[in-house]
Structure 1
Amino acid sequence: MISKGDKLIGQRVKELRMKQNLTQKELAELVMGSPSSITRLETGQIMVSILYCFPTNILFCSLPMHENIA
């Protein structure tokens, strides 16, 4: 079952990906995933996996502090 938290995380991943001007394919390559997995993650169709959390956290933590999740 997909939780509301997973959907919110997916939405936030999409927002941050777009701020970095990355395509879903580019993000997938950076986190060693598939573009279809990124699509399903962003749309809340799959649960957030720890395999995606760590690499995306490193990628998006490189944003300036005002861009990070509070």
Structure 2
Amino acid sequence: MVGVDEYSARKGRHYGTVLVDVETRRPIDLLPDREALSLAAWLALRARAWLAPVCFEAWFRSVFTFADQP
């Protein structure tokens, strides 16, 4: 399972997305922004046997719509 959150760099002037392996609590990848399309593209390149959004911000709510499209 993958956890998704945002991170801040440059004292809050730049935001990105961090993807974490929930079981090992280790980072998997860092995305350079927090755009829904970037996260959807990342998910599209990986096997998505199970996606379960738990609590997420408005900036990537639409990811699950993008990710479910063929």
When normalised by structure 2's length, the TM-score is 0.30
Give the helix-richer structure, 1 or 2: 1
Greater length-normalized contact order (CA 8 Å, ≥ 6 residues apart): 1
